[in-house]
Structure 1
Amino acid sequence: MKTPKPLVAAIAAGAALTLTACGAPSGGGGTSSGGDGKPRIVWDMWAAGESDVDALEAQLAIAQEENPDVDIQLQHAPWNDYFTKLTTNLASGNVACVTSMNGQRLSGYYEAFMPLTAEDLATAGIDEADFTEGSLDIMSYDGQLYGLPYDVAAMMVYYNKDMFAETGTAEPEAGWSFDDFDAAVAGATTDAHPGFGMGMGEFQWMSLPIARSGTQPVDESGALALTDPDFVEASEWYAAIAEDGYGSLPPSASDTGWGEQEYQAGNVAMAVDGTWNAVSYLNNEAGFEAGMVDLPQQGGERLGLILGSGYGISADCEDKEAALKVLGSLVGEAAQDQIASSGRSYPARIDSQPLYFESLEEGVRDEVQAAFDATFTGLEGQRSTPDWAQVNEAIQPQLVSVYTGQTTIADVLEQAQQQFGE
């Protein structure tokens, strides 16, 4: 595996960008105080709009109530800006003491965070046993814990029950096989609509090949393994969905959310997406009845990845104890209950998870819980390389050419392996 470049060297080019997010309070790792002399801890998070900000402020209120001797300040930026500004802040040493991190991006930012010890978890009031099995992998890199997860997610297959009924296609059930998936795609395809929305995002297209092959595209040593024969074969199977006429084809590489958008609009019978969109699909504006099921199995086995996001303490935070207490509150019982009750996220804390299902309409509650129970079984943490984001940025624009038969997925994977592998 390539040796990671020091973060400061890798990000220096972005140092001229704005350092503070969206008019929120500035604050880096250095200790600062509010007007009342309390230590000030800045919490940095992404937010897409007013509803996201309202949800964050509700969690902030909980953390503030639990830590009256600390002045907690929230700063936020839209998702597309958040990591750009985080990269810039790294170059200037201005990273917020409590910084949010998407687990799939941690490999490129782990040096920004303090490693967390058992003593740190005790200070934060955290018991690892309170969290979903495997969820601590979300904020771990190379065997070291750098933060704590606030939510967990996994990929699943969403399907349009109305289209299945119209075509007389049997609805998928938990534990279904890839043979069942093939039959469902073919059966649900009509002249009016394809059976499947071809994915363009990392997990929207990779999840089925990973599940089918039982292989991650990064091996256990952390080396890029895009050309693993089993993964290549499974990726070729996935690309053939489009080749065989069962897939809705994105018009351009810029349509990064193509498969999910086609499903949401009621244009395809199935698509792969994360559990984080379950509520959105249940309440889709197209008016169809949505269903969901775990990824298919191959030979009675299925490999799925546990995904999610969390919070860590910046490496240059001077008031580590105060930051740990704030971190503990943000992933504590009250904050996790708030996340779950809103239905916005599936919490990492086990005891809070039933509240997520209670937030749903009674008519779908049991069905969604059964699908989640199946989906969150037998998962493992995602392995990634320090330049994993760049790997996916290289592959994604070429997927349209793969789906339209202008190139092969094997060639695309080989090129990326040569560029980013050993």
Structure 2
Amino acid sequence: MKGIFTLTASAMVLMAAQASAQDLRVAVYTSSEPHLKLLNQLADGFKASHPGVNVRFETIPVADYTQKLSFQVAGGKAPDVAWMMEDAAPAFIEANILMDLTPVLQAFPNYDLADFTDPAMALWRKGDQVYGVPFSTSPFLIYYNKAMFDKAGLEDPKQLAEKGEWNMTKFQEVSKQLVAANPGKYAFEFKDGEGYASRMTHALLPPIRAYGGDLWENGQCGLESPGAVKAVQQIHDMVFKDKTIVPPGTQGDYFSGDSAMTVNQISRASKMKEAGFDWGVAPLPTGPNGEEGPVIGQAGFVVFEASPNKELAAELVAQMTDKEGVAALAQFFPPARRSVLTSDAFLNKNQYLSPEMMGFVAAGIEKGRVVAAHERVPQILAAMKPRVDALWRPDADVAKSLQGVCAAIQPLL
């Protein structure tokens, strides 16, 4: 009886494993219909070569993404594959919970791992092991509402950039004029209308980089450097004195025409068909020393070591990031593959951005630096948040607030 029970239980375990092997869960932080449509098309190609396999894309809101993904991993409910943000990648790699994809990628037909640029792969490698494949190496750009600039009688950011006049001083100057000419509107909002609670580093980093600084570098906090203080003071003044940036507690929406400018990446261009106004993109404004290197956001596909289907999941990642897969993804997500980055299809056939706009993207990938990352990013962000909250008050002492942020995070760096 015991033997029969054991055999039956084993058979049930085997059947469950076989069933789960046919179902791959992929965690993503996009709910964009065009993005999901493309991802499902890529999954259909994989399913065609793997009969019986199902691929499900599960959206986790971006503001909670890394935290909820961490909870799923800790609770033994990790997805098979996940998009991984650049700032969180080192923590997941150091925790030894990601699969080394190298053997699968090297064995995949015509994959050509060497086609990926070394700077783009640096975050995802540890020695000779590859723990993720970047599918998006995307420079931050200024999106602007041309109609609002025209109403104010102003040259737009692209025109100013072409003249070499698109800098942080001009950014503040035109922001005041935009608000004066467009009552009830803001001149600028942070990435995705966030930046105070979530995406605080994305709000701070572009102006700080423009002034030659960084959030942290080589184990040292950079937020109390003179350049960082000057950059954040300028943004603070624009929020509370000029009242040109969407303030804390107010939800802006550039895509609905609430703001004249925002920072984002080319993946958001898919939303512009619904915007109802003339628009364009331009490089980020430069600082006093000229261009200090565009800010690049990066995301990669990873496979969790605990996945019962990790070999199959790794094959899915390989197929979605081979040359054909990256070429398809490139309409929304700038590629790290040299062959695709310089291709006519990438530069001249994007359905949302003109070849000139795509030139800004390509230049940003070539010159840019990835968003600051660290293996302790979750702890760093948790330590930063209350100190950054204190910064976003009208009477805040910016320099003292930034010193407080550095005091909180330096032991973690």
Q: TM-score if structure 1 supplies the norm length?
A: 0.74
Provide, for residues 240-276 of structure 1, a one-character-per-residue CA deviation record: whole Å limited to 9, x for no partner: 2224415234251xx5xx4xx3422323322222332
Q: How does 1:160-309 map to 2 (within 5 A)?
A: 160-172=145-157, 173-174=161-162, 176-190=166-180, 192=183, 193-197=185-189, 199-200=195-196, 201-221=199-219, 223-252=220-249, 255=250, 258=251, 261-280=252-271, 282-285=272-275, 287-298=276-287, 299-309=289-299
Give the alignment partner of residue 371 of structure 1, picking from 357, 360, 364: 360
| 8 A Cα contact 1:47 1:53, kept in partner | no
Q: CA deviation at 1:160?
A: 1.9
2: CA distance, partners of 1:205 / 1:142: 32
Q: CA deviation at 1:284?
A: 4.4
| 8 A Cα contact 1:123 1:321, kept in partner | no
CA 1:262–1:400 in structure 2 vs 1: closer, same or farther (change >3 Å)?
Answer: farther
CA 1:139–1:278 in structure 2 vs 1: closer, same or farther (change >3 Å)?
Answer: farther
| 8 A Cα contact 1:41 1:322, kept in partner | no
Q: How does 1:8-407 map to 2 (within 5 A)?
A: 32-34=17-19, 40=22, 42-46=24-28, 48-49=30-31, 51=33, 53-65=36-48, 67-68=49-50, 71=53, 73-74=55-56, 76-79=58-61, 83-110=66-93, 111=95, 112-117=97-102, 119-125=103-109, 126-131=111-116, 134-140=119-125, 145-172=130-157, 173-174=161-162, 176-190=166-180, 192=183, 193-197=185-189, 199-200=195-196, 201-221=199-219, 223-252=220-249, 255=250, 258=251, 261-280=252-271, 282-285=272-275, 287-298=276-287, 299-317=289-307, 321-340=311-330, 343-352=331-340, 354-355=344-345, 358-360=349-351, 365-392=354-381, 395=384, 402=391, 404-407=393-396
Higher-Rg structure is: 2
| 8 A Cα contact 1:100 1:309, kept in partner | yes
Provide, for residues 308-360 of structure 1, a one-character-per-residue CA deviation record: whole Å limited to 9, x for no partner: 221123233566654433321121123223333xx443344344455455242
Q: CA deviation at 1:413?
A: 2.4
| 8 A Cα contact 2:89 2:124, kept in partner | yes
Q: Give the length in aligned residue pairs.
A: 374
| 8 A Cα contact 2:143 2:282, kept in partner | yes
CA 1:227–1:108 in structure 2 vs 1: closer, same or farther (change >3 Å)?
Answer: same
Point out where structure 2 has 5 or more consecutive residues left out of the alignment.
1-15
Name the amino acid aligned to 2:259: V
Partner SS, residue 151 of structure 1: strand
Q: TM-score if structure 2 supplies the norm length?
A: 0.76
Q: CA deviation at 1:148?
A: 0.3
Q: CA RMSD in A?
A: 3.5
